[in-house]
Chains A and B, each alone.
Chain A
Amino acid sequence: MLAAGDRPVNEVAAAFAISRPAVSRHLRVLRVAGVVRERRVGRERLYRLRPQGLAPAAVWFRRLDRFWRRRLAALGHLLDREET
């Protein structure tokens, strides 16, 4: 939902059927964590996702993927060696 662009707090609250203060609290946590960005327009606060806020998880995942590729290549070399 927030990936689509700026959304005011009450719209988010309506979508989740929870109180506006509760939603504000959640969004504050996400903002501090760098997952969402806050923009003020007049008296309204608009929120949207920051894809780059999720980047560390993606980097970690790619690293693990590479780890396995290399280990399985090492397994191949070991099997070749064991054979001789």
Chain B
Amino acid sequence: MKDIVHTVTYPQPVEAVWKALTTRELLSQWLMENDFHPEVGRSFRLRARPMPGWDGVVDCKVLELVAQTRMVWSWQGTNMKRATYVTFELEPVAGGTRLTLRHAGFQGVGGLFLRLMHSSGWKGKFLRKQLAGLLSGMERRTM
């Protein structure tokens, strides 16, 4: 499955945008309630309003932190089988700051397929992988 990528340019300087990305109180204002701490290796939790099929909790961890340049989190909603990755990148541009957000690591159709095989009790790893390939062509058309 492809990544989610958004690029936004804000008229504020890099310092201001970085602060909004890395300060608990400010994060809670634009993203979600959280117990974030800007330190590599620190786990934290984001909380949104619960919705059907999801209790609103995302478990995260700070994986990379390069001041005013780049921050990477692992991101695992309680409804997700394994972690995905969120990267924030800042770049000073004329008249402001360009933020690129990338949310990556989705399993895609092949992964969905592996989950189905797994939940059915089918343990042949090699065959599972081969058959996952059976569906991979679908991905580009549906995702």
Footprint of B on A, CB under 8 Å? 1-3, 12, 16, 18, 22, 25-26, 29-30, 33, 35, 49, 51, 54-55, 57-58, 61, 64-65, 68-69, 71-79, 82-83
Cβ A1 vs Cβ B137 within 8 A: yes
Contact of A58 among B113, B127, B142 (CB under 8 A): B142
Cβ–Cβ < 8 Å partners of B131 in chain A: 16, 26
Interchain nearest-CB distance for A7 vs B (Å): 10
What range describes how many residues of B lie at the interface?
35 or more
In the complex, the answer to whether A33 meets B30 with C-beta atoms within 8 Å is: no
A55 to B103: give the CA distance in the assembly, Å: 20
Alpha-carbon distance between A55 and B109 when the two chains are bound, in angstroms: 10
Contact, CB under 8 Å: A61 / B106: yes
B99 lies within 8 A of A72 (CB): yes
Question: Can you list 9 pairs linking A and B with CB atoms under 8 Å apart?
Answer: A3-B137, A12-B134, A18-B127, A51-B141, A54-B109, A57-B109, A61-B106, A65-B4, A75-B30
Chain B positions 29 through 68: 1 when the CB is less than 8 Å from some CB of chain A, otherwise 0: 1110000000000000000000000000000000000000
Known: A54-B109, A83-B12. A75 touches B117 (CB 8 A): no
